[in-house]
């Protein structure tokens, strides 16, 4: 499968990620996160609006002055006061949004589509006059009428935005729907397209990937997928999704930094890396069941679509449990310098299984059983 060439990550750990329940990054932590993401190679780092709090405004200015390779964006309402703050605090780009769906339009801001477009024109012209890269996003795009979406995107493109954004704000969209809507927008505008997908129904990575396949160029991610409620697509998840199809698409990034980035942010948040996190979870390259370990010992590609070495990780093979197979037992014996016949390895595996039915096992217990064959 060939994937589109144009791919930019917009990491929004310092905006969407700050909306995660336990996030309250200090200035030093914000700088550390921005520097790690920059070293990794994300193209954009999105920061909380300078309107949010005095420290958020100061930190935007500090990070924007830091001379990072990544472009520093701030996420603001389509509002002149917020736009002025973005300019005053040195943002290189402004990610504007306005809710356009029926359910949100009423309760979020109460504007009609025409009023949204009138406000957008003032704000976009002001930002473009100040040489700010502008993206305009329709919040809750997937509960917005497609004709309304297209009307707005065509209009803001003529106002001079560099890209339009589609947001699955409530995590309701399916991968096929994302593909169809992004494709429809792709056919209507020339500018770049950004996608932002929430994980409420478990489709954030799949939806973000579908958007990429359909022509989205800019993909929103956060470290560990943190964000409002249960978050959005994770950086490591999107890297895994793309690398498993075509590693050359992500070879320009410092993939070996991913474990450290996830670990550092998890520590800042006071959480563990989730067990099901792609690439960086402690068990992401851990093999247990006998049928798996037998095959992996012969050729890791049997049960690994990603090479752990690419990410500075190592595979682990567990044998201290009742699902063990004799091949893995024989391999452990070889590591210990013990030569077992097939019959002995099978007998040792049977012994481990019987003990595993009775209680938890650990590596030392297994080695003791294996040494008993060496005597």
Ligand X SMILES: CC(=O)SCCNC(=O)CCNC(=O)[C@H](O)C(C)(C)COP(=O)(O)OP(=O)(O)OC[C@H]1O[C@@H](n2cnc3c(N)ncnc32)[C@H](O)[C@@H]1OP(=O)(O)O
218 binds, among Zn ion, ligand X, ligand AKG, none (CB under 5 to 8 A by kind): none
Contact pattern for ligand AKG over residues 293 through 312, marking x by CB under 6 A = --------------------
Confirm if 219 and 233 have CB atoms less than 8 A apart: yes
Which listed residue (292, 321, 327, 359) is catalytic?
292
User: Using alpha carbons only, what angle is made at residue 76 by residues 229 and 36, rounded to the nearest 5 degrees?
Assistant: 70
Contact flag: residue 29 with ligand X (CB under 6 A)? no
**What CA–CA distance (Å, rounded) separates 163 from 134?**
7
**What CA–CA distance (Å, rounded) separates 241 from 222?**
15
Taking the least distance from each CB to ligand X, the nearer of 95 and 293 is 95
Contact pattern for ligand AKG over residues 66 through 95, marking x by CB under 6 A = ---------x-------------------x
Contact flag: residue 228 with ligand X (CB under 6 A)? yes
Restricted to residues 120-139, the positions that interact with ligand X (CB under 6 A) are 139
What residue has token string 């920061």? 47
Contact flag: residue 78 with ligand X (CB under 6 A)? yes
Contact flag: residue 49 with ligand X (CB under 6 A)? yes
Contact flag: residue 230 with ligand X (CB under 6 A)? no
Contact flag: residue 16 with ligand AKG (CB under 6 A)? yes
Residue 240: count other Cβ atoms within 10 Å of its Cβ. Answer: 22
Taking the least distance from each CB to Zn ion, the nearer of 11 and 16 is 16
**What CA–CA distance (Å, rounded) separates 307 from 294?**
18
- Minimum Å gap between C-beta 254 and ligand X is 28
Instruction: Please identify which residue in 33, 34, 52, 85 interacts with ligand X, judged by CB under 6 A.
Output: 52
Taking the least distance from each CB to ligand X, the nearer of 52 and 86 is 52
- Minimum Å gap between C-beta 371 and ligand X is 58
Instruction: Please identify which residue in 71, 109, 130, 321 interacts with ligand X, judged by CB under 6 A.
Output: 109
Restricted to residues 7-26, the positions that interact with Zn ion (CB under 5 A) are 16
What are the structure tokens assigned to 24, written together? 């309250």
**What CA–CA distance (Å, rounded) separates 62 from 25?**
14
Contact flag: residue 143 with ligand X (CB under 6 A)? no
Query: 292 catalytic, yes or no?
Result: yes
Restricted to residues 153-172, the positions that interact with ligand X (CB under 6 A) are 169
Taking the least distance from each CB to ligand X, the nearer of 233 and 284 is 233
Taking the least distance from each CB to Zn ion, the nearer of 100 and 293 is 100
Q: Alpha carbon 239 to chain centroid distance?
A: 7
- Minimum Å gap between C-beta 139 and ligand AKG is 4
**What CA–CA distance (Å, rounded) separates 124 from 107?**
24
Contact flag: residue 199 with ligand X (CB under 6 A)? no
347 binds, among ligand AKG, Zn ion, ligand X, none (CB under 5 to 8 A by kind): none
Restricted to residues 164-203, the positions that interact with ligand AKG (CB under 6 A) are 165, 167, 169, 196, 198
The Cβ-side half-sphere exposure at 347, using a 13 Å CA radius, reads 9
Contact flag: residue 77 with ligand X (CB under 6 A)? yes
State the catalytic residues.
292
Positions in the binding site for Zn ion (CB under 5 A): 16
| Residues at the interface with ligand AKG (CB under 6 A) | 16, 75, 95, 97, 137, 139, 165, 167, 169, 196, 198
């Amino acid at each position: 499968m060939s994937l589109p060439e144009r791919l930019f990550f917009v990491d929004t750990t310092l905006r969407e990620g700050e909306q995660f329940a336990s996030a309250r990054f200090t200035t030093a932590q914000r700088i550390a996160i921005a520097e790690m993401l920059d070293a990794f190679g994300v193209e954009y780092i999105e920061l909380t609006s300078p309107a949010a709090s005095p420290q958020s405004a100061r930190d935007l200015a500090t990070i924007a002055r830091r001379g990072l390779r990544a472009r520093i964006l701030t996420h603001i309402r389509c509002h002149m006061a917020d736009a002025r703050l973005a300019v005053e605090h040195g943002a290189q780009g402004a990610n504007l949004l306005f809710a356009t769906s029926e359910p949100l339009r009423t309760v979020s801001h109460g504007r009609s589509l025409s009023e949204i477009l009138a406000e957008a024109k003032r704000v976009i012209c002001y930002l473009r006059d100040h040489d700010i890269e502008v993206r305009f996003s329709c919040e809750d795009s997937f509960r917005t009428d497609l004709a309304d979406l297209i009307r707005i995107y065509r209009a803001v493109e003529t106002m001079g935005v560099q890209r339009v954004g589609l947001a699955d704000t409530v995590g309701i969209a399916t991968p096929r729907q994302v593909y169809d809507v992004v494709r429809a927008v792709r056919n209507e505008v020339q500018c770049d397209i950004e996608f932002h997908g929430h994980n409420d129904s478990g489709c954030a990575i799949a939806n973000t990937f579908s958007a990429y396949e359909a022509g989205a160029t800019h993909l929103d991610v956060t470290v560990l997928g943190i964000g409002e409620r249960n978050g959005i697509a994770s950086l490591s998840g999107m890297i895994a999704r793309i690398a498993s199809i075509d590693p050359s698409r992500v070879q320009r990034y410092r993939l070996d930094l991913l474990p450290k980035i996830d670990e550092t942010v998890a520590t800042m948040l006071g959480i563990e890396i989730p067990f099901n996190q792609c690439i960086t979870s402690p068990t992401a390259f851990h093999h247990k069941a006998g049928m798996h370990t037998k095959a992996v010992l012969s050729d890791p590609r049997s049960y690994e679509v990603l090479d752990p070495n690419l990410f500075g990780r190592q595979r682990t093979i567990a044998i201290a449990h009742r699902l063990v197979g004799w091949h893995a037992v024989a391999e452990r014996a070889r590591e210990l310098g013990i030569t077992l016949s097939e019959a002995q390895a099978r007998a040792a595996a049977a012994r481990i299984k019987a003990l595993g039915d009775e209680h938890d096992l650990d590596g030392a217990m297994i080695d003791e059983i294996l040494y008993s064959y060496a005597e």
